[in-house]
Structures are given as structure tokens and as C-alpha cells.
Chains A and B, each alone.
Chain A
Amino acid sequence: MNFSAANLLLVGILLLNLFFLGTSRIRALIQAAALQGVVLGVMPLLIHGRVDWNTGLIAVATIVLKGSVIPGMLRRALREAQIKREVEPLIGLVPTMLLGALGTLLSIAFASGLPLAPEHQNLLVVPASFSTVLTGFLLLTTRSKAITQAIGYLVLENGIFIFGLLLLEAMPFLVELGVLLDLFVGIFVVSIIIHHINREFASLDTRRLASLKE
């Protein structure tokens, strides 16, 4: 296992998380999500230490889906919607970045409280996973556009995928594939809905989706 390289990439993922929260351009957000997808695709090979059919397939499927297909669908949704290319946060960019940094610190503290198997001791997987999940949550809750919320969900799934790396030996291939497939279908359905929201409300701003309440 190549732990130092894996940890280096995990630190890269943590930095990308802060970038997600700090950027004001949707296009840059999609780009960063694609980059994170490619990094995630490389991770199984590094952690597993050798290339076999199983890990190879997961790596290729992840890189293709998270690095190219899903960002492509999001870009298409962005182009068709012809919306302003700004993120329009409900809370400012700097406060959310600070929240993200705080979340990362808390993830590291929380992860140290959970006992890891001996072979995973020196790996940053658990804090990186928690921090990425929290980043996804922040994007989902503090951004007002449907498309940024979809990206938030993608980041949330990325965080869960990172934790899945620890289970690569135990989790059969089928389940991993199911995860990727569900993510693909999920984003696919979401992009259709984005299309309809855009047509009905002439905007992707979910703040207009506020007629249903008590």
C-alpha cells in the first residue's frame, strides 16, 4: 500500500473542499467536482496497492462517471438553463469557508475517537470522508440554486465514497457498482427536474420554490 501518496491526495481533497465553499462561479465548481472525481478514482489503486480486475473496474468507472459524465450533464444543464453564472449563496462565501474549515477540524477530532483497524492506522481516510460529507451538506443548505444543490449532493456522495475505500476488501464489487449507478441515475433525474424548474419558474433559484408551507 502506498500510504504517503494516498494521504497526499486526501489532503488535496480537503483543499478542494475549501475551494468548493469559496468559489463564486458555478463553472469552476463543476470543474473542481470533476477533478475530485478523478482523484477519487485513483484512490482505490493506491490504497489497494495492486491492480486487479475488481479495483481496476471501480477506478475506471469512477473516473469516467464522476470525472466526465456527471460533470458533463451538469454543464449541459447550466448551458440550457442560461442562468447567471454566479453561485448566489444564502450565507456569504467567507463565512461558509470558515464553517468548512471548522468542520474539517471537528472531523479530525471526531475521527480520532473512532478505533481503526491496524492496517488503516496512518490513513487520513476517515477525517477526509467526514469533511467532504460536511462540505456537501454546507453546499446543499447554503446555496440557493438548484444546480449548486445538485453539486452539493455529488460532493456528499464523494465523501461517502472515500469512506468506502476502507471497505474495498469487504464490499463486493456489485455493491460499489450499485452505488455508482444510483449516483448516475440520481444526477440524471435531478438534471431533468432542473430543466423543468427552469421552464416553469424561468429561474433555477430554489427560493422561488416556497409556495408549499404551513
Chain B
Amino acid sequence: MLLIALIALPVLAAGVAMALPSDSWRPHVLPVAAAGHLALTVAALRAPAQDALGGWLALDPLGRLVLLLLSVLFAICAIYAVGYLRYRRELSNRVFVPCLLIFLGMTSLVACSQHLGLLWVGVEATTLTTAPLIYFNRTPRSIEATWKYLLVGSVGIAIALLGSFFLAYASLGQDSSLLFQDLLKRADQMNRSWLHVAFVLLLVGYGTKMGLAPMHTWKPDAYGEAPGVVGALLAGGLTNCAFLALLRVFQVCQAAGEGAYASRLLVFFGLLSIGVAAVFMVGQRDFKRMLAYSSIEHMGILVLGVGLGGLGVLGALLHMLNNGLTKGVLFLSAANIHRAYGSKSIDQVGGAMRRVPLSGSLFLLGFFAITGSPPFGPFVSEFLILSRAFAAHRFAVGASVLVLLLVVFVGMGRTVLAMVQGLPASDSGRTNYRDGLLTGMPIVVSMGLVLLLGLQIPAPLESLLREAAAFLETAR
């Protein structure tokens, strides 16, 4: 019942938002629904394991972790969105607000889904609901970004469907259930040839949604043109839903005794993504596109950690939380800076620390956090993944990741420092934006959580992380 409520509440709220006639009142539905969803999430995490719809929906440790991240990130973004939409009175938010809420409902569906087909339906639904969000600004550039996103994303999701069919065919036997627990049980009887092709297709398909290189082409455009709050939800929420789907498929592969084959592919795509992101991040002049490449880099780190196994898996799961929350800080503060200067190119933006002190400093702190500087959370998770690489004698992998992370630090650092340091060029580009409570406070909260994860992981969260890692490893 709780699980159905988690999905139904945002969808109902979307209906309410659509029925409200006033553009200035409608955004307030967001924080109300987010608070309700957060309360339901906490209740679901404390309650003993339960399922709904004949086992199609259930919360396992992996799902709990993703659901928690989604709910917290959405609450942060919901409060921010109220402040943001006050600056966008000229545009109707009649589609924007309901789509944000449906996005929350569909991502919750992905987190709870225990059925191969239902999982796919959830991921596809998130693709469709985010398209109008990217298109919010109604500029020719945002149409172009939306078109690329829809086309590349839909093809990716179609490949994932073909992969799901292949996986179903590989497991064809007396029992035809497509629930993950049943797939895991009969994994050892699966046909290897079909399973191999299925994993490649699912990795490419869900990898497209995650934004792994070389299927990442939609990402810089979509993140660059979408409002910052949408970028935060895509980079911190949607990508992790696709990651969860990939983890579930990886688990089936492991149970079938094909873990080594799947891990090799994950490490390969992980390294490639980090490498491609590093190349494009050096000399990037558009700071929102830079964040998109940073997202590609961190998706690479996630699959790399899982591919390395052992402590790497724990590191990857922790990194999923760290990256999601830090991306919230970066995208939201970048959106404020964008709004204050009316430009997202470092040719026009300079001295952000003076013009918008709060957003400027948060952006700088977010940069240090995402590049793995202590004492923030990503340092801990990246350290776990790297130490696993060296402990498993994968010296070439570990060393190349270290070098690439250094390249990213220097490349991203040049762009970020050019933005925040110095004096604002002139007052000519100045807009009416000032840091306020609604557009500042949510970012501070998000930054605080990133710091907390770096200093001391709360005990319940740590046990949840260990449970989730153990849950993935049991099949090995």
C-alpha cells in the first residue's frame, strides 16, 4: 500500500497542479507533494520489507537507496523551483510543474519495480516526461536539445527493450516469470549466447540513459539548455534510475556465472566515459555544458566501481548518493549564476563571488566536492573505488583513473575559477536576480548533506549501504 502511495501521490499532485488555474499558485504544489513523498519514503524505509501487485513492486536494499536519494533531491529541487518560477513569470508553468511531479512518480516506480518489463516501462516514462521539461525555455536551441534528447533517448530505450526481450528469451523454461528474484533463481540455467547479447544491449540501452560514452551525445545539449533545476533532477535522479536498472541486470549476469564478462564491459565503458569527459572538459567555456561532461565522468566512475567489485561496489553505491547531491549543488548554483549574468559562457561571467556571493561560493565548494577533495563525500567514495582498483592489482586501471581525475580537476578548475574570481566585468550584463531564501537555502542544505557524507555517514545509512552492497554481491 505504501509503495503504491509513493507512486500515486506525485501523480495525483500532478493532476491537482494541472487543474489549478493560477501560474503563481501552481508551483506551491511542488514542496507540498515533495514533503508528502519524503514522509512516505521515510515510512517505507523504516517499515519491514513489503511488496505490492503480486511482487511486481517491492523495496529491496538497492531500491531503498535510490528512493531515498530521489526523494531528498526532489525535495531540495521542489523548494528551489518555487523561487525559480517566480523569476519566470513570463512563461506558463502549466506543463512544467505537472511534468516535474510525474517525473517523481515515475522515478519512484523505477526504484520499486521488481519486474523486468515494468522497470523498462518506468524508465521509458521518465524519458517522455522530461522532454517537455528540457523544452521549458521555448527557444530554438532548447527545441534542438529536446529533439536530440528524445531521439537518442528513445533509441537507447528501444535497445534496452530488445535487450530485455533477449534476457527473457535466455531464461525461457518451465517458469516464465520475469520478476528479478525468479530470474536470479534460474540464472544458472540461462542460455549463455542470448545472455551475452542481452547484457550488451541492456548496457548500451540503459547506458544511453545514464549518459555513458559513447552514447552520451544528448547530454551536453540537454543539460546545457534545460533549466538548472531540471539539470539537477536529470543528473542526480534520472541517471541513477538507469544505473539501478543496469545494476539489476548485472546481478542476473553474476548469478548466471557471467560476472567476469559483465565486469569487463563495465570497466571498459567506465574508463571510456571518464576519458571522453576529461577531454571535453578541458577548455570548456559554457559552464552548464561543463557540468554535463562532469555528469558523464561520474557515471563512468559508478560503472567502473561496480565493474571492479568488492569494496568498489560499496564505493559506487556511496558515490551514487554523493554525486547526486553534489550535482544538485552545482546545477542549482550554476542556474543562479546564469540568471544573474544572463549568460552561461565564461566569456561574460566573472567575479560571481562578488555579484552573487552565496551562489558563487556554493558553486566553488561544489566544484571542490565533485572533483574529490576532502572533506566532502565524493572524496570518500572515489577513494574506496580507487583503493579497490589497486587492491585487486588493476594498476593500469587505477593509475589511468588517477591521471584522468587530475586532468578533470585542472580543466574544470580553470573554468570555475574564471567564473567566481575577480571583479564582475561591468554592470551592463546585470539582471534583476539576487540570491534569496528560496533559491539559496535548498543549495545550502544539499551542500551540508554532501559535507555530512564526507565527515560521518549516519549509522542507518551506513547499514543500508552495506546491505545494498551485500545484496549485489550475494549472487557472485
Q: Which of A164, A172, A201 contacts B165 (CB 8 A)?
A: A164
User: Looking at chain B's contact residues, is the secondary structure mostly helix, strand, loop, or mixed?
Assistant: helix
In the bound complex, CA of A170 to CA of B224 (Å): 42
Q: Which of A166, A172, A200, A201 contacts B117 (CB 8 A)?
A: A172
Select from chain A the residue with minimum beta-carbon distance to B222. Answer: A212
Whether A212 touches B144, Cβ cut-off 8 Å, given contacts A153-B154, A157-B158, A182-B128, is: yes
Minimum CB–CB distance from A213 to chain B (whole Å) comes to 9
- Within B134-169, the residues touching A (CB, 8 Å) are 135, 140-141, 143-148, 150-151, 154-155, 158, 161-162, 165-166, 168-169
- Within B194-248, the residues touching A (CB, 8 Å) are 194, 197, 220-221, 224-225
**Tally of chain B residues near chain A (CB < 8 A):** 41
Q: Which residues of B contact A167 (CB under 8 A)?
A: 165, 168-169, 172
- Say yes or no: A160 contacts B191, CB within 8 Å: no
Q: Which residues of B contact A178 (CB under 8 A)?
A: 117-118, 120-121
Minimum CB–CB distance from B444 to chain A (whole Å) comes to 32
Whether A160 touches B165, Cβ cut-off 8 Å, given contacts A153-B151, A193-B146, is: yes
In the bound complex, CA of A159 to CA of B159 (Å): 11
In the bound complex, CA of A149 to CA of B191 (Å): 35
- Say yes or no: A212 contacts B151, CB within 8 Å: no
**Is B176 positioned at the interface, with any CB of A under 8 Å from its CB?**
yes
Q: Which residues of B contact A57 (CB under 8 A)?
A: none
**Is A197 positioned at the interface, with any CB of B under 8 Å from its CB?**
yes
What 0/1 readout, one digit per residue, does chain A (174-199) give for beta carbons within 8 Å of chain B?
A: 11001100100110011001001100
**Is B280 positioned at the interface, with any CB of A under 8 Å from its CB?**
yes
**Tally of chain A residues near chain B (CB < 8 A):** 42
Q: Which of A137, A160, A172, A190 contacts B150 (CB 8 A)?
A: A190
**Is A163 positioned at the interface, with any CB of B under 8 Å from its CB?**
yes
Q: Which residues of A contact B426 (CB under 8 A)?
A: none
8 nearest interchain CB pairs?
A: A175-B117, A170-B176, A209-B144, A178-B121, A212-B221, A182-B124, A200-B140, A160-B162
Q: Which residues of B contact A157 (CB under 8 A)?
A: 158
Q: Which residues of B contact A115 (CB under 8 A)?
A: 191, 193-194
Minimum CB–CB distance from A179 to chain B (whole Å) comes to 7
- Say yes or no: B224 contacts A212, CB within 8 Å: yes
Query: Considering residues B125, B161, B224, B280, which has the most beta carbons from chain A within 10 angstroms of its beta carbon?
Result: B161
Residues of B within 8 A of A (CB): 117-118, 120-121, 124-125, 128, 131-132, 135, 140-141, 143-148, 150-151, 154-155, 158, 161-162, 165-166, 168-169, 172, 176, 178, 191, 193-194, 197, 220-221, 224-225, 280
In the bound complex, CA of A157 to CA of B159 (Å): 9
In the bound complex, CA of A160 to CA of B128 (Å): 19
In the bound complex, CA of A214 to CA of B124 (Å): 28
- Say yes or no: A185 contacts B178, CB within 8 Å: no
Select from chain B the residue with minimum beta-carbon distance to A163. Answer: B165
Q: Which residues of B contact A196 (CB under 8 A)?
A: 135, 143
What 0/1 readout, one digit per residue, does chain A (28-63) give for beta carbons within 8 Å of chain B?
A: 000000000000000000000000000000000000
- Say yes or no: A209 contacts B148, CB within 8 Å: yes
- Say yes or no: A156 contacts B155, CB within 8 Å: yes
Q: Which residues of A contact B125 (CB under 8 A)?
A: 182
Q: Which residues of A contact B280 (CB under 8 A)?
A: 214
In the bound complex, CA of A149 to CA of B155 (Å): 11
Select from chain B the residue with minimum beta-carbon distance to A130. Answer: B162
Select from chain A the residue with minimum beta-carbon distance to B166. Answer: A163
Whether A163 touches B193, Cβ cut-off 8 Å, given contacts A175-B118, A186-B128, A212-B144, is: no
Further contacts, 19 of them, CB under 8 A, given A140-B151, A163-B166, A175-B121: A115-B191, A117-B169, A167-B169, A171-B168, A172-B117, A178-B120, A178-B121, A179-B121, A182-B125, A186-B150, A186-B154, A193-B146, A193-B150, A196-B143, A197-B147, A201-B140, A209-B147, A210-B144, A211-B144
